[in-house]
Every structure is written in C-alpha cells, then in structure tokens.
Structure 1
Amino acid sequence: MFIKVFFCALLLCSFAVSGKMLPQNWTRVGEAELSILWFDVYKAELLTPDGFYSDDNKPLILNLNYRRNISRKDLLQETRKQIQQFAGTEQVDHWLNKLLQIWPDILKGDQLTFWLDSEGDGHFFYNKGWIGSLKDPAFSSAFIKIWLSDKSNYPDLAKQLRGEFR
C-alpha cells in the first residue's frame, strides 16, 4: 500500500513541478512530411479541439516527429532563418535566447510539440514532457507561421497541415 501511495504522490509532484500538461483527445487537422533532398527531416501534425483551422485559430498543437538527429545549435539556427520573415531582429534574438534555455538536442524518433493556448502563450513539450513556455503572443504567432503561413518557406507543407489539399 505504501508503494502505491508513494508512486501516486510522485506522479502528482511531477505534474505540479511542470505545471503543464498537453490537452488530450484533440482532432487532427492535417499532416505533412518535410524532406530536403534525400533527407527526411520530420513528420508534422496539426491538432485543434474541433479538427478545423483558421488564421486566428487558438488553441492548437503542432507535433513534430523527427526522422533524423538535429543538434540544438542547428535547430536554433534554422528557426532563426525561418522566423525572421515574421518578426524583427531584436525580437528574434530575444526569443532565441529563451529557446536556447528550453530546447534539447533532437534525436531520430524524438517529438517536439508546440501548444499554442487560448491566451496566445506557447508551451513546448519534448517527448510529451513539458520543457518550457514563452508567454509572448507575438512569439507564438511568428513561430506557428513557420509551418502554417502561405509565406513560409514550405507553402505546400502549410496547406497540408491546414487541411487544404492541392
């Protein structure tokens, strides 16, 4: 009996420490795979509570299931290149300094999840465990545009994620 109580208390403490849990039972809007040349990079999936997406959609979840190893340094450099078109340099520098403290190195098979909550705050999960948040709606908006905007570097991927098919 003591062991059961101990493990339940341990489980509750882990949730209290992180303070964040991913919403459950959301519906897939769309999915897409990113490959560059002959390298598979990730499979992406967009989820919302009702399975529909519009430009002002909040909340939403973007799952990135990585198909290759990516160092934190490379992930941050690529994020800088992608997000710059949606925000000013000073903002991007500030955000990337925060992400440097949050993001790990990615290994093949890892999942990085971004949850945009209804207030516009962004929360990151690594293999389903919360790793940090940026409470800045401007960041969340710019970050999600990397995958969902027609002005992103991969507009076909964006259409697939938004549930629009060519």
Structure 2
Amino acid sequence: MFIKSIFFVLLLCSVEVLGQTLPENWKRIGEAELSILWFDVYDAELLSPDGRYSGVNSPLVLKLNYRRNISQRDLLEETQKQIKKFARTDQADRWVARLSQVWPDIYKGDQLAFWIDHENTGHFFYNEDWVGSFQDPAFSNAFIQIWLSDNSNYPDLAKKLRGSVK
C-alpha cells in the first residue's frame, strides 16, 4: 500500500511538471485579422521576447482569438490542407491525428495559442490552459508557416504578423 501511495504522489508531481504556461511579458511583433468574405474568423497576434521577428525557428507565440464557432473537425481539416504546403503528406497526416487528441471545438471568444520555445518544441494552449506539446521541430516550423510564410494562403496577414506591414 505504501508503494502505491508513493507511486501516486510521484505520478501527480510528474503531471504537474509536464504542465506549461505561456510566456509572460513578451512583446507584440504584429497583429492581423482574418475575415473570409463577410465572416470574421479570428484576430491574430505574434509575440517574441524582444518584439522582433527573427524567423520561424526563434521563440514565438502566436495567439488566435476566435470570433466565431469552429468545430474541431473543421479546424483539423483546414489545418491539414494548410500544413501540407510546408510538410510531406505522411508527416501532415500524423501531426493532424495527434492534433485531434489535443484540440477541442472552438467557440466565439476562445483563444488558441501556439508557443515555440528555445528548443523548437511547440506547445498549445486553449484559453491559456496547456493542452499539449509537440517535440518535433519540423512540426513547429511547418505549423507556424501557415501564418508567417509568404507562401501561405494569406500573405498579407503573414506580413502584418511579422511586423512588415502596419
């Protein structure tokens, strides 16, 4: 019984260590709104420790504040379409399968944030609560390119987020 109690306490401690929090006091690089036709989708904000964009392999936080409801299924389907521009299909399929275990349905007013840390590990937060991490730097790079690449579906949004256009 004693061994089981110690195991349980160690398990609780390890779960607490795994939990992450978004970096605080980072500075805004840029912000943009995504609207498709007459539908407002989200307001986006890109942050870094010093408020400068130094490339996709540097520490960044992307915050998406949703202005409409989006089902998990729709979010995953769109992400899969977009990420395939920056990764092999088999990688994208694996990553999206993992995202299906992390992402919930999105409701108007929710925030989904993505933090790339110094090791290029990607951490997801839903309404500022950590929901999962990807330790694959290739994922972090491909995922953030959806918003920051000139080859994305929304290059003007990318420029605004990178601070290239005000």
Query: Runs of 5+ in structure 1 lacking a partner?
Result: 1-12
- 1:70-98, CA deviations, whole angstroms, 9 ceiling, x for partnerless residues? 00000000001111110001000100010
Cα–Cα, structure 1 residues 48 and 105, in superposed 2: closer, same or farther, change >3 Å?
same
Output the TM-score relative to the length of structure 1: 0.89
Count of aligned pairs = 155
Q: How does 1:25-40 map to 2 (within 5 A)?
A: 25-40=25-40
Q: Check the 8 A contact 2:113/2:124 in 1, yes or no.
A: yes
- CA drift of 1:19 comes to 2.0
- CA drift of 1:165 comes to 1.1
Match of 1:85 in 2: 85
After superposing the two structures, state which structure 1 stretch, 17-26 or 102-111, moved more: 17-26
Q: CA RMSD in A?
A: 1.8
- Give the fraction of aligned pairs with identical amino acids, expressed as a percent: 68
Q: Helix, strand or coil for the counterpart of 1:142? A: helix
Match of 1:109 in 2: 109
Q: How does 1:1-166 map to 2 (within 5 A)?
A: 16=16, 18-165=18-165
Separation of aligned partners in 2, 1:129 and 1:29: 23
Q: Helix, strand or coil for the counterpart of 1:119? A: coil
Q: Check the 8 A contact 2:31/2:43 in 1, yes or no.
A: yes
- CA drift of 1:121 comes to 0.6
Q: Check the 8 A contact 1:115/1:124 in 2, yes or no.
A: yes
- CA drift of 1:18 comes to 4.7
Structure 1 runs (4+) greater than 3 angstroms displaced? none
Output the TM-score relative to the length of structure 2: 0.89
Separation of aligned partners in 2, 1:56 and 1:99: 20
